[in-house]
Amino acid sequence: MQTDTDTLHFLDDDQPSGAAKELVWRLMVVDDEPDVHRATTFALTGVKILGRPLEFLHAYSALEAENLLKTERDVAVVLLDVVMEREDAGLALIKTIRQDLKLTELRIILRTGQPGYAPEIETIHDFDINDYKTKSELTRTKLYATVTAALRAFEQIRKLDELAFYDRLCNLPNRNRFLDLSDERLASGRHPDDVMAILDVDDFSEINDALGHQQGDRLLQAVADRLKVEINSDVVLARIGSDTFGLMGSSRVVDPVALLALFRTPFVVQDDSMVVTATMGLTKLLGRDVLARDAIKDANIALKQAKKTRRGSFVMFSSEMGSEIRERVRLLQNLRQAVESERLFVVYQPQVNLHTGAVVGMEALIRWRNEDGSFVPPDRFIPLAEASGMVVAIGDWVLRTACHELVRLQAMGLADLRMSVNVSQIQFRHPEFLEKLNAALLDTRINPKCLELEITESVAMDDPQFMLESLHMVRELGISIAIDDFGTGYSSLSHLRQLPIDRLKIDRAFVTELSRDVSGGHIASMVIELGRNLKLTVIAEGIEEEAQAQKLLAMGCHEGQGYLYGKPMSAIALREWLADRLASQ
Ligand code: C2E
Ligand code: MG
Ligand code: MG
């Protein structure tokens, strides 16, 4: 197939400018004998085949033919002499046509003066040669029949290609064709300044739903038409998805600022004037060794990013984005394996009363040790587990493990210790969460008063009505609730006042801050003050120094957790730690 514009030219049957131009079949005669040219045109003058007249192109050598085919569009049939400047000149040209020029639709009729030069069967097959004739066979009638058959084949192949490679709605190449054309550009190495872009019409499915598919289709056509008009021909433009267009070309033309500016003028669709915006993802990382398939993935990653954070604008792909995503995919696969091969475990970090120094409880924290012994921090894999839904199963397992540990501690005579378990948003919102919580209580028969759930401030403040109801149900089970990482979210005081909670947990960052002088006072002291007003216990996490503990105590903070007292430790280490501590109290 030829370049995109060629085929567009072919598709342009009904030119918008009015009078449809008459379509012709273009035939090329390649022969070193001028007589053959004359005889052929003479035999076919004035005939119409499949409703169209014929137009002839003439080449007198294989080289001349090659050059012509590079520039001329829509040549349907080549009548080709086998023996010209060399014995195999014709066959060599066929190879060039199919392999180098990639003219796969073009039909080839071989002609030879001497029967001895017939091509091998394989050649006929491999190079898709339509017919082989000796020149003596090419009488007027026979020639007519042969050319008609070839043109019919050409038309069929074109139609099939059109279906496979064209989008009929917008009259543009489709995704397959976009990839092919882009690959050709990439392989040529002649466009170092190219970018590939995906342009996505914002909220298209809403428009479709609201105004109907017909109107949606017309809008897409209007967008496609505007892009066609505004973009010069040296850009690959295609419709690559229902409401997305692909572009590849010089960065001067495929310029997101200019392209998005095209959306400032409303699109006139029937009698409506529709205002739509678009978002773009682009990649510059192109080169001879890049495949269009990979480039489009990168552009898509950038597009997704743009959709999230910059609707109506664009994001340029950077290699970090790709490696970040690949890294995340890898991590997720590993996490799945880790869950299966039980490489996750729970550690416990003590919590103490700042006044008396007595242990009041511990927080259960999940750990993941890789096969190579390295640890993946929960801050990295919990968000992934959330995104993939795995956090529901993982969280349930942590909850049960922690409850079982509590049973063991109670058997040691430590009946009052509290176990805090982190619960992520996805887990908390899961419809079966309360059921599972209740089942864990029933199965382990722990005292619900000894169990506490930690939910982060941002989760607590999201969807107030839902949280209010759910937290009440948790409290009805007898379980207490702490707001984790307090101070990092944006709590509304009135909302906080309503929530059935027991404890505020000052985020580590505000404890670290205590070692410095901070203008306007410490956030920790404000949180403690708030807790006092709302009659909530306040616990500070991440206490590493005695001085921090003293300051917190002076401010009125009740409880603390941090390396100063104990690092997160295994269940066995925790039991030893507790035994030592109790013995010395
Ligand atoms: P978090 O709930 O705020 O947990 C406190 C984090 O601070 C823990 O990090 C803990 O090891 C760390 N930490 C405690 N004391 C100190 C200290 O004195 N100095 C320093 N530098 N760090 C201290 P970790 O275990 O890496 O956990 C990070 C976060 O991961 C947790 O923050 C929590 O949001 C999440 N997470 C951990 N386990 C679970 C779990 O089982 N389920 C869910 N949903 N999230 C979990
Ligand atoms: Mg926590
Ligand atoms: Mg925290």
Question: Binning pLDDT at 50, 70 and 90, where does residue 17 land?
Answer: very low
Mutational test site, ligand 1, from 351, 400, 422, 561, max ligand atoms within 8 Å of CB: 422
Q: Which DSSP letter does residue 221 get?
A: H
Task: Give the separation between CA 260 and CA 132, rounded to whole angstroms.
Answer: 54
- pLDDT band for position 437 (cuts 50, 70, 90): very high
Per-residue confidence (pLDDT) for residue 135, from 0 to 100: 79
Give residue for tokens 């029933």. 442
Nearest residue CA, atom 23 of ligand 1? 542
Instruction: Report, in angstroms and rounded to the nearest whole number, the Rg of the chain calculated over CA atoms.
Output: 37
Token pair, residue 584, equals 């010395």
Regarding the beta carbon of 365 and ligand 1, being less than 6 Å apart is answered: yes
Say yes or no to pLDDT of 490 above 90: no
Q: Does the pLDDT of residue 9 top 80, yes or no?
A: no
The finding on whether 544 has its CB within 6 A of some atom of ligand 1 is yes
Give the pLDDT of residue 19. Answer: 44
pLDDT tens-digit profile of 304-326? 999 998 899 999 999 888 788 88
Which ligand lies nearest the alpha carbon of 510?
3
Position with higher pLDDT, 3 vs 233: 233
Protein residue whose Cα sits closest to atom 24 of ligand 1: 378
Q: What is the pLDDT of residues 520-572, one digit of tens each?
A: 668 899 999 999 999 999 999 999 999 999 999 999 999 999 999 999 999 99
Q: Is 562 in the pocket of ligand 1 (CB under 6 A)?
A: yes
Residues 6+ apart with CB under 8 A from 161: 1, 7, 105
Q: Find out whether the beta carbon of 485 lies less than 6 Å from any atom of ligand 1.
A: yes
C-alpha span between 522 and 232 (Å, rounded): 60
pLDDT > 70 fraction of the chain, expressed in percent and rounded:
95
pTM of the model: 0.60
Q: 366: CA distance to ligand 1 center in Å?
A: 8
Q: H helices within 274-318, ranges in order? A: 292-309
- Length of the chain equals 585
Residue 396 has pLDDT above 70, yes or no: yes
